[in-house]
Structure 1
Amino acid sequence: MDKVNDNIETVSKWVDILTEFAITYGFQILGAIVFLLFGLWVANWIGNRLINVMLGRNIDVTLSQFIGSAIKLILVALLIIITLGNFGVSIAPLIALAGAVTFGATLALQGPISNFGAGVAIILTRPFVVGNVITVRGVSGVVDKITLGMTFLTGEDGEQIAVPNKEIVGQVIVNSMEMRIVESNFCIAIDEDALRVIDLIEAAIKKVTEGESPHPPQVGIQDFTYGGVVIGVRAWVPGLQYFEDRYDINRAVYTTLKENGIALMQIGNSSLALPKLNDGNGPSTPPPVL
């Protein structure tokens, strides 16, 4: 019976303590929660509004999102500091603790942090933007998204490629913007009409790339070789369908050559003229044909 009375007294004391605490701090806590929620809503609204304004002024998407997110974080941090100050919590020890934790985290997470630093460098210097076709570290694709830690590319087959930002900064970056160049060449026999071949090939490639590229294809005499003329081909195609268009262009070139009876140079048919031979006893004799 005494034990039951003791338990009742203990519960009664806790009820009194909680009641007194609720009366003393209840409205203060409720006000702090309301203030915190309202502040979070305001910070989120300001960040989104800032992003929309920058996008409306044609500022890069990635840079706009980065600045908007940074403003949100700063406002939320100030909000938390003000809320804690209303409860009489000293901020100085928390700042010192945060500094110590940050130092330890920096040592433990050097890899991810270096990615974040590289991400900030990419966003600020903007060597490429969303929608560009880039090649870096042997991989290529269309830039789909740039975050602080990773840059996401979309390959030609639709696969997503995630490249750590620290692997991009300081490396050679080939930025083809939205287009890539298909380059090829072939050698026709020396007795073929090279100018006619150029016109035919250029017309065939235009049919393949029509509506895809603002740049016309380039076809011309690239070089000369023994027994033939080298024709060079350059065409701009969308980066996402580079190989598809490359194969279509090669097919168009091959079909055009076949349909018009244009002969390609064959190595076995080339000849090399050597100096005439003279043994000193008579007229020079013609050299053998190799």
Structure 2
Amino acid sequence: MFVEDIEKLEKIYDLAIEYLVTYSFQLLAAFVIFIIFLLLANKVGKILNQTLVKRHVDVTLSQFLANLLKFLVLAAGTVVALGKIGISITPFVAAIGAASLGAGLALQGMLSNYGAGLAIILTRPFTIGNTITVRDITGVVKEVKLASTVLVNEEEEDIIIPNKFLIGDVLHNSYQNKLVDSSIGISYDSDVKLTIQLISDILQEFDGVDSRRPAQIGIDSFADSAINIGVRYWATTQSYYDIKYQVNLAIFETLKHQGIKIPFPQREVRILSD
């Protein structure tokens, strides 16, 4: 048994030596071709990325296109190198196709995220720095990947959203700002026009409130014991709550100083007796 194993090893050794002697130049040529294509892929990918960045193309899209070009050049080099040593890639293509079908069925959710990521990169419904809202989640776009998009909120928490939820769903893009929608109640005997003017003056002078979009201020509703004044304005997303709370405090102090009453809920109770 031991002698048979030795003979098998000797046959394998002889075949390996014969192959190296016969195809040594082809192997060397294939190796050189692969190295050349590898260097070429890195070079053209770098050039394409720099060119796109200079033309102010989105960073994520630039990197994706550069990596795609590198992969195509390297794949072409691999095909040429394999052909140099007499290896046909046809069986590999068939095997890869069968494996891709099985992997596609098994990884359907993951592939849908990659497909959605590719659609986001190509169509660019939002870019890094925009404020988006999807499924009641709001944040500033920090990074766009093929599988997911990373948002950051005012608390500096990273929110990772799978890309399949960003394509085919209702998406709000408010760019650098976010809408503040609030209201304040004043008594019925207060001056409504003066109240609206005071709030408007506060918002015009307040840092962090978008002055390019005029604030909307008016009577929102008539409650039982107060007239509700609706206030809508745009604030910087990264300081949304800080700006909202400071504006509310400024409105409260100004109305109090001007003698405009903010009533509390009242209820009249009548006691009937026999």
Q: What residue number does 2:272 align with?
A: none
- Listed as ranges, the gaps of 5+ residues in structure 1 are 271-290
| Alpha-carbon distance in structure 2 between the residues aligned to 1:161 and 1:38 | 42
Please give the residue correspondences for 1:4-43 in structure 2 after superposition, counting only pairs within 5 Å: 24-43=22-41
Of 97, 103, 128, the residue aligned with 1:99 is 97
Give the conservation status (yes or no) of the 8 Å contact 2:41–2:70: yes
Q: How much has 1:142 moved relative to structure 2?
A: 0.9
CA contact (8 A) 2:23 2:85 kept: no
The aligned counterpart of 1:181 is 179
Shift of 1:66: 2.2
SS at match of 2:204: helix
2:229 paired residue among 225, 228, 231: 231
Which residue in 2 is equivalent to 1:286?
A: none
Q: 1:269 to 1:194 in 2, by over 3 A?
A: farther
Match of 1:193 among 191, 194, 210: 191
Instruction: Find the aligned partners of 1:164 and 1:24 in 2 and give their Cα distance.
Output: 53
Checking the alignment, whether the CA contact within 8 Å between 1:135 and 1:141 is kept in structure 2 is yes
Deviation, 1:111, is 1.4
CA distance in 2, matches of 1:75, 1:67: 12
Does residue 171 of the first structure (1) align with residue 155 of the second (2)? no
TM-score (norm 1): 0.79
In 2, are the aligned partners of 1:217 and 1:233 still within 8 Å (CA)?
Answer: no
The CA distance in 2 between the partners of 1:135 and 1:162, in whole Å, is 13
Partner SS, residue 209 of structure 1: coil
Mean Cα displacement is larger for which, 109-118 or 193-202? 193-202
Sort the Cα spacing of 1:88 and 1:21 in 2 relative to 1 into closer, same or farther, 3 A. closer
**Paired position in structure 2 for 1:45:** 43
- Once structures 1 and 2 are overlaid, which stretch shifts more, 159-168 or 261-270? 261-270
Cross-structure match for 1:280? none
Match of 2:82 in 1: 84
Quote the offset at 1:22 in angstroms.
5.2
User: What is the match of residue 271 of structure 2?
Assistant: none
C-alpha separation in 1, matches of 2:109 and 2:167: 14
Deviation, 1:247, is: 1.4
For 1:191 and 1:249, the matched residues in 2 are separated by: 24
| 3-state SS in 2 of match to 1:268 | coil
Q: 1:127-175 deviations in whole A, cap 9, x for unaligned?
A: 2222111111222111111122111111221111111111222111111
Change (3 A) 1:188 1:269: farther
Give the 3 Å change call, closer, same or farther, for CA 266–12 of structure 1 in structure 2.
Answer: closer
1:250 offset after TM fit, Å? 1.3
- The CA deviation at 1:224 is 5.3
1:67 to 65, 68, 71: 65
Residue identity (%): 38
Q: Classify the secondary structure of the residue corresponding to 1:46.
A: helix
Structural RMSD (CA)? 3.0
Contact 1:209 1:237 in 2 (8 A): no
Measured in 1, the distance between the counterparts of 2:72 and 2:256 equals 68
The code of the aligned residue for 1:263 comes to K
Where in structure 2 are there 5+ consecutive unaligned residues?
269-274
SS in 2 for 1:204: helix
CA contact (8 A) 1:130 1:146 kept: yes
